[in-house]
């Protein structure tokens, strides 16, 4: 099918810089490989710097001329976010793409050093703070984009602004779905504010559908569905990581993508397939919720965005 969007559609990215969070494995790693093959400067921003270094060497083995760097970034720590952002500002004159890919499913409720519920901290608050702290580099770069990775699970997400951190009973799946809804509320509000400021940067979102990765692998249903023994039965529900990463890649480099666009697989339930523009829930387009989450995120992280400073 000629209409299928694949890696072949990715134009040469020579001279451009992409920063990907959570890029040592899974979808982030697959996207990094694509960008390295297209001559991009690739920065792997990961919590475990050792795993980031290993991922860099795996990419260099495949693409010897690749420019791949690593950055230590723990999104659960505002101090780590600040240190990593300072290094980005110091070491990179331009950032063309920021891909907020890192995510977590936390089985039992945990609280970070900053007092945040850990799923929300990893999947939203840390990304909000990091994006804000390096935004000046994006604003200095014409055609730059912020791509935030959501999930088909956002459809089951419910925002409870009176108990964002699940102090009144924790359900890990609801915490995850809420954080993925937050990713879209953040993207749409970020795009609105970028457009209002006349900024050269756009905000786009993507989701991978269902991928055969280690993500959430400590949960029995995921272990069952990703078992190689069941692949003949589950092929239509799950796809390989390289294909699952394509919506993220398309959101990042498709020249026709506009701010506020959301990409996902074109198959049944958006579980598998090739990347197309998809629709998110009415809840994700609630402008009051978008603004409320933004203001709360500013208060919690202490980070405000320098829209007018470019």
What is the Cα–Cα distance from 100 to 97, expressed in whole angstroms? 10
Q: Tell me which of 176, 262, 263, 305 is the catalytic residue.
A: 176
CA atoms of 36 and 66, how far apart (whole Å): 6
Q: Assess whether 188 carries a catalytic annotation.
A: no
Task: Report d(CA 302, CA 95) in Å as an integer.
Answer: 23
d(CA 147, CA 246): 13
Cα 264 to Cα 204: distance, rounded to the nearest angstrom: 12
Pairing, β 275-277 against β 262-265: antiparallel
β-bridge mates for residue 21, sequence order? 45
The total number of residues shown for the chain amounts to 310
Q: How far apart are CA 296 and CA 130, in angstroms?
A: 15
Give 70's strand partners.
44
Cα distances (Å, whole numbers) of residue 299 to 65, 222, 250 = 43, 35, 33
**Is the separation of the CB atoms in 183 and 174 below 8 Å?**
no
Residue 240 phi/psi, 5-degree rounding, is: -70, 155
Angle formed at CA 202 by CA 194 and CA 31, multiple of 5 degrees? 145
What are the residue numbers of the active site?
Answer: 176
């Amino acid at each position: 099918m000629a209409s299928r969007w694949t890696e072949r559609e990715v134009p040469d990215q020579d001279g451009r810089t992409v920063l990907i969070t959570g890029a040592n494995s899974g979808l982030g790693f697959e996207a990094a490989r694509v960008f390295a093959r297209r001559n991009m400067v690739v920065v792997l921003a990961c919590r475990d710097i050792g795993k980031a270094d290993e991922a860099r060497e795996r990419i260099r083995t495949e693409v010897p001329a690749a420019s791949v760097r690593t950055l230590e970034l723990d999104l659960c720590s505002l101090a780590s976010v600040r240190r990593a952002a300072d290094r980005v500002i110091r070491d990179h004159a331009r950032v063309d793409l920021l891909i907020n890919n890192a995510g977590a499913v936390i089985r039992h409720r945990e609280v970070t050093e900053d007092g945040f519920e850990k799923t929300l901290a990893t999947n939203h608050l840390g990304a909000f703070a990091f994006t804000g702290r390096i935004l000046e580099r994006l604003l200095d770069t014409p055609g730059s984009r912020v791509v935030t990775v959501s999930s088909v699970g956002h459809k089951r997400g419910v925002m409870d602004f009176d108990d964002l951190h699940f102090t009144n009973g924790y359900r890990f799946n609801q915490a995850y779905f809420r954080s993925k809804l937050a990713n879209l509320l953040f993207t749409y509000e970020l795009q609105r504010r970028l457009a209002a400021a006349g900024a050269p940067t756009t905000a786009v979102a993507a989701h991978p559908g269902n991928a055969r990765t280690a993500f959430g692998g400590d949960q029995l249903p995921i272990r069952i569905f990703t078992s190689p023994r069941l692949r003949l039965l589950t092929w239509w529900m799950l796809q390989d990581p390289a294909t699952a990463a394509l919506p993220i890649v398309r959101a990042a480099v498709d020249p026709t993508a506009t701010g506020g666009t959301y990409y996902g697989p074109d198959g049944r339930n958006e579980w598998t397939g090739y990347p197309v523009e998809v629709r998110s829930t009415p809840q994700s387009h609630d402008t009051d919720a978008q603004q409320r989450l933004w203001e709360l995120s500013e208060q919690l992280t202490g980070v405000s965005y320098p829209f007018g400073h470019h």
